[in-house]
């Protein structure tokens, strides 16, 4: 494995984080109802964390003499996280968030492996830090899912 792979995954992860920010923000605005309040608040908190992830990834790319991608390179991936037709369909948003977090977890695991092979401990450390945030997000939304499934 080469460091090309590291920068490629860093760039993908950067775009994914920004797509996550956009979709969490839209869903946090679109959802309606008393039951949605906790999810909306949780999304608002996570938006700040995902944005911080994008910043860290972008700074790491710069340190590696690369540039983070901008909107012209943007590729849509999060189809299940589009806001639901029914603005009270909180479960659809919870499932979309879980897909996004699972996807992020896979991305950071592959970044850890690529950075390890490229002997790049700084990127590896960054990926471990972000991975632990994504696993915490997944745990939080798994909890919401259990609660919603019971009704």
Binding site for Fe ion (CB under 5 A): 17, 50, 53, 134, 137
Q: With respect to Fe ion, which residue has the nearer C-beta, 24 or 36?
A: 24
Q: What is d(CA 6, CA 17) in angstroms, rounded to the nearest whole number?
A: 16
Handedness of CA 6, 8, 9, 10 (dihedral sign): positive
Smallest gap from residue 116 Cβ to Fe ion (A): 20
Q: With respect to Fe ion, which residue has the nearer C-beta, 75 or 86?
A: 75
Q: What is d(CA 1, CA 22) in angstroms, rounded to the nearest whole number?
A: 32
Smallest gap from residue 104 Cβ to Fe ion (A): 5
Q: With respect to Fe ion, which residue has the nearer C-beta, 60 or 137?
A: 137
Smallest gap from residue 130 Cβ to Fe ion (A): 6
Q: With respect to Fe ion, which residue has the nearer C-beta, 2 or 26?
A: 26
CA angle in degrees (0–180, nearest 5) for 99-104-105? 100
Q: What is d(CA 43, CA 131) in angstroms, rounded to the nearest whole number?
A: 18
Smallest gap from residue 85 Cβ to Fe ion (A): 25
Helices (H), 31-89: 37-63
């Amino acid at each position: 494995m080469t460091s090309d792979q590291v920068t490629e995954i860093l760039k993908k992860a950067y775009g994914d984080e920004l797509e996550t920010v956009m979709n969490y923000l839209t869903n946090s605005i679109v959802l309606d109802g008393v039951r949605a309040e906790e999810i909306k608040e949780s999304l608002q908190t996570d938006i700040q964390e995902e944005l911080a992830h994008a910043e860290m990834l972008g700074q790491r790319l710069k340190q590696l003499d690369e540039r983070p991608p901008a909107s012209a390179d943007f590729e849509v991936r999060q189809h299940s996280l589009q806001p639901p037709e029914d603005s009270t369909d909180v479960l659809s948003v919870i499932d979309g968030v879980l897909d996004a977090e699972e996807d992020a977890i896979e991305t950071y695991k592959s970044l850890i492996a690529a950075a390890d092979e490229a002997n790049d401990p700084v990127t590896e450390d960054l990926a471990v830090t972000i991975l632990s945030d994504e696993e915490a997000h997944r745990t939080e939304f798994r909890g919401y899912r259990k609660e919603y499934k019971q009704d």
